[in-house]
A = this chain, B = another copy of it.
Amino acid sequence: MRLLSYLNRTFNGFPSSSKLLLVFSLSGGGLLAYSESQSNSPANSVEHEGLANKKKVVALGTGWASTSFLKDLDISSYDVQVVSPRNYFAFTPLLPSVTCGTVEARSIVEPIRNIIKKKNGEILFWEAECTKIDAANKKVFCRSVIESNLVGKKEFSLDYDYLVVATGAEVNTFNTPGVMEYCHFLKEVEDAQKIRRSVIDCFEKAILPELTEEERRINLHFVIVGGGPTGVEFAAELHDFVHEDLVKLYPMVKNLVRITVIQSGDHILNTYDSRISTFAEQKFARDGIDVHTGCRVLSVSDKEVNMKIKSTGENVSMPHGMVVWSTGVSTRPVIKDFMDQIGQGKRKVLATDEWLRVKGCENVYAIGDCATIDQRKIMEDIGAIFNAADKDKSGILTVEEFNDIIDDILIRYPQVELHLQNKHLSSVTQLLNDPEGNARKEIDIKVFKSALSQADSQMKSLPATAQVAAQQGTYLSSCFDKRDVAKITPEGPRRFKGTGRHYFLPFRYKHFGQFAPLGGEQAAAELPGDWVSVGRSTQWLWYSVYASKQVSWRTRVLVVSDWTRRSIFGRDSSRI
């Protein structure tokens, strides 16, 4: 029955295939049997709950990518296991709010078992860390992360037919000495809770008797390294926490607090629209938050941040009470080891193709921050494309032949569309115009090449955001769900180098806009059209409704109730 409903869904978009649909519908049972008989039952693995004929899927991680994948995956034809050291999904865009108690940690997490138990309880979850991916033997090795005296083996291994790597990335210290030892981070829920306690510690220490005013000032100096959205949002939250709540409780030291943001670039929020960046800098200046741009941190000690001012080359050191490091991400060791195995050892980040398949490896997918899509350049395939388009092998492409192939080109090489937009061309055929702007009827390979030669410069890699990860997860689950159908009626673009079509459309990121947190109740939103200023609650609503299916009703209610609590009672300053 599920298969039939799939087929229906899949074919609704293809009226011309309605005859075929009928055939499939009638033979649905047979098709299912066929696909099952196709599956290779792994020889050396223990079967779970008698799901003998199902393909084994192992997913690593419980972040945005993995949970979106699991949420939509139809497990009637897969035997799914999930491995992660975190037994919950965290709604990371609200992490900076947790640091100051605007929102409680528990309100932004959802137990992964709640997410997966909706799938009839058939997805298994193991709270463990993946220590090694053995791609050659289709195995992952795992180790429980629970540090306790509980009995039983900590290590185990899992066999897979398909592996979905969604382990995320780790903090990037750029090998700066002292960062690991003395800095706070903002990656995990625990990080945010630690920051909250440390902020209170700084205040409790600073007001103790027998400290000099200078010592009090140092303890109340909060330094944020990194002027990206996370660092800026934390600085803004901290400012609000200090000025709305803490000054009332620690009035003796309220004038000694200082917040400093250190940014290596020339502006904070430099990936955003320059108006936002300027607005944020002006707001920070009004709020008394110091912004040091053009500074590179050389080292961090327990008492000082040492940095180089790029413009003057001068080295300065800045005493601090607490440092939060928020400068981007890098690849985890287990992924580096995996990259070495599959010949990606020289790359910095794990590469996948446009279908999110790890390059150089069968049946392994990677989604979210742990990988980047290595978009194929059109110029590498330009000859093959020309040959495929040139049906009569005349060496000349007519407009008809070109039009026949252009949709597949646009799907396979999204940079072409960006190139068109960039050139302000309304139609693809305008690419073929001669230098005077007149339409050509026919083109040869040389003209074809030169028409597309600049397209590849439009390629850019996707940002490491929750939005991208969530969309990749959803995309990948839809491919898994359609796998058997797609083998028979592929939906992807034509294979220019081979024959037939790709099974699936390649992954395409839809940008739903982004938010720039500006402190207070303000945020700027990039919505279709332009940037607008909105309230912070709007940001959350937007995320909650449009961007994420992981956000349960529980989370929505809890976050709203936390906001209500805060607006009535203020933030809690108890050191727990």
Contacts and interface: CB of A to CB of B under 8 A. Distances in A.
Interface range for A: 35 or more
A109 B576 contact: yes
Nearest to A202: B150
Contacts of A127: 204-205, 208, 575
Contacts of A150: 201-202, 205-206, 218-219, 321
A565 interface: yes
Interface in A41-80: 46
Interface stretch (A151-159, A413-421, A447-455, A509-517): A151-159
A219 B151 CA distance: 6
Nearest to A86: B575
Interface in A105-126: 105-106, 109-111, 113-114, 117, 121, 126
Given A114-B249, A554-B569, A88 B574 contact: yes
A568 B555 CA distance: 12
B151 A87 contact: no
Interface stretch (A141-149, A165-173, A285-293, A500-508): A141-149
Contacts of A207: 126
A250 B87 CA distance: 12
A152 B576 contact: no
Contacts of A205: 127, 144, 146, 148, 150, 152
A291 to B, nearest CB: 24
A189 interface: yes
Given A249-B113, A554-B569, A193 B576 contact: yes
Contacts of A248: 117
A204 B146 contact: yes
B574 A126 contact: no
Contacts of A46: 209
A5 interface: no
Contact of A208 (B114, B126, B558, B575): B126
A302 interface: yes
B576 A88 contact: yes
Contacts of A249: 111, 113-114, 117
A146 B211 CA distance: 15
A207 B121 CA distance: 14
A382 interface: no
A190 interface: yes
B303 A251 contact: no
A92 interface: no
A443 interface: no
Contacts of A200: 87
Nearest to A552: B569
A86 B204 CA distance: 11
B149 A303 contact: yes
A133 interface: no
A212 interface: yes
A351 interface: no
Contacts of A156: 208-210
Contacts of A209: 46, 126, 156, 158
Interface in A178-223: 182, 189-190, 193, 198, 200-202, 204-212, 215-216, 218-219
Contact of A151 (B106, B148, B319, B554): B319
A321 B319 CA distance: 45
A363 interface: no
Contact of A572 (B111, B149, B182, B575): B111
Contacts of A105: 576
A201 B146 contact: yes
A561 interface: yes
Given A104-B106, A153-B210, 18 more contacts: A87-B200, A104-B104, A106-B572, A111-B249, A114-B249, A128-B208, A144-B204, A144-B208, A146-B204, A148-B198, A151-B303, A152-B205, A152-B206, A152-B215, A158-B209, A189-B576, A190-B576, A557-B568
The 3 tightest CB contacts between A and B, nearest first, are A149-B302, A88-B574, A152-B215
Interface of A: 46, 86-88, 101, 104-106, 109-111, 113-114, 117, 121, 126-128, 144, 146, 148-153, 155-156, 158, 182, 189-190, 193, 198, 200-202, 204-212, 215-216, 218-219, 248-251, 302-303, 319, 321, 554, 557-558, 561, 565, 568-569, 572-576
9 contacts: A101-B106, A105-B576, A110-B574, A111-B249, A151-B211, A152-B208, A156-B208, A193-B576, A554-B569
